[in-house]
Amino acid sequence: MSKVFLLIGLSVAMVSLWNVWNLYSSYSSKRTQEEKEKDKNTFTPKTNSQTNKITNKTAYSSYSSRRNSIIPISKSILTFEFIKEIGKGHYGKALLVRDKIFNKKFVLKEIPLEIYENHDLLKNEHIIHSILDNKFIVKYYGTIVFGNYIYLILEYAPQGDVLEYILNNGSLDEVAAAKIILQVLCGVDYMHQRNIVHRDLKPDNLLLFDKGLVKICDFGHCGVLTNDKEKLKGVGVGTPVYRSPELVLGLPHNEKTDIWSIGVLTYMFLTNESPFEDDDEFNITNRILKADYTLLDDGVSVEAKHFIYSCMQVNPMNRPSTQDLLNHPWILNCVYS
């Protein structure tokens, strides 16, 4: 009888092993196909020596829209180990945690349910972030509701943000600045192609990752355009020193407001100062409305000055698009030369 049970046990074990092997083979085949697709979409900039412009117009789109690698993650709050609080805002906290099952760090954005349910700004951020999937945008992994709180599971940036980096290290050289701006442009271009306007681009909303990777975060001020001719409305949107003239005045606006902010970012990266530096807030506002920024010194290249000048045009219709800026000589010369 014992021999019979032994044979039955061995049979069950063999069936289990066979199922595991089939599962592994299926997974390996799927991964191989995914990796081939990923390799096929790998971005290689192609330039024309006559015009020094990117000739493959789909390259940036292919590069930017590539999905992030799938990362295993638990979906129960009980599987996360609290490490420390890394931020606190008007509506909640940012908690650094470790997934005990997969041993990976994440950020949990903890918001009281009562506050979440009564603030459209928070719901707007949640919805928009959940549909964005791009290499240059901080990854959203999902939501957990536990007790009286809602937790947004976000990608952790081990290197902090660009503001912190500049405060600690000073202004950037043109090559370093251009490499960051290129990544911001790729992320913003991805958003603009989907009619989403960020409206709060600033150094502390740009997070740093390994190997110089930069990702955009914080989508609470985003607006969505339903068509190319629509204008957004909003008073007090964004951070004052980065606001475009139309945002300062509370006028209808579109994606070109982000272009202005990119000009301000570039200026600050190169100088470690605001282009509208002034002790009086009223004077700052007036200077923004006239694009009356402090001129850059001779140590900054003509191409960099032109890049900033073209972004910070008072009339939004005169500002370039993200695609125009991706092909700007300053970007091409600094990043690809």
Q: How far apart are CA 313 and CA 19, in angstroms?
A: 64
Up-side HSE of residue 28: CA atoms within 13 Å toward CB?
A: 6
Looking at 200, 258, 279, 292, which residue is catalytic? Answer: 200
Q: How is residue 289 written in tokens? A: 């409305």
Q: 280 an active-site residue?
A: no
End-to-end C-alpha distance for the chain, whole angstroms:
79
Q: How is residue 248 written in tokens? A: 């300062």
Edge-first strand order for the sheet with 140-146 is: 80-88, 93-99, 104-112, 149-155, 140-146
Q: How many CB atoms lie within 10 A of CB 89?
A: 11
Do residues 219 and 137 lie in contact, with contact meaning Cβ atoms separated by under 8 Å? Answer: no
155 is in an annotated binding site: yes
Under DSSP, the state recorded for 172 is P
151 is in an annotated binding site: no
Element (H, E) at 250: none
156 is in an annotated binding site: yes
Binding-site residue numbers for ATP are 109, 155-157, 218
* Active-site amino acid positions: 200
